[in-house]
Amino acid sequence: MLKGISPILSPELLKVLCEMGHSDTIVIADGNFPAETMGKDAIVIRMDGHGVPEILEAVLKVFPLDQYVEKPVSLMERVPGDTADISIWKTYEEIIAKEEERGSALIQTLERFEFYEQAKRAYAVIATSERSQYANILLQKGCVLQA
């Protein structure tokens, strides 16, 4: 155990977050996301039993979002005609606003297959048990700046 670090952040995940460099991306995927397929060229970390919001909150405590791009956070758009509940996005906005003063202005949506293309290039994919649909989120790492 470490002081000040959420216990949800496993040693494997902390190592991956630390290894990532500026502009590398990580996907926190819902339970329906094809994590192994999309992450075949990435590091796939299983976090079964956890949902995306709790992981997102813990990750953003230690993970800087890219300050040099306008939208370092991407969500998968709902397929046209699909009526799946996307209220989880509001939770993401609240979590991001707590950790980043730029708040929800950092978030963009990507068409489903564009999101998959971005995910295929991710450094890592976190596979969760999140049951909400369209709950996938892609984060682009920034730099830790000198104070």
Q: Which residues are catalytic?
A: 22
* Residue in the structure block whose two tokens are 């290894």: 19
The helix-helix angle for 88-99 and 52-60 (nearest 10°) equals 10
Does residue 108 contact residue 74 with C-beta atoms inside 8 Å?
yes
Which helix or strand (DSSP H or E) is residue 29 part of?
strand 25-29
Rg, C-alpha atoms of the chain: 14
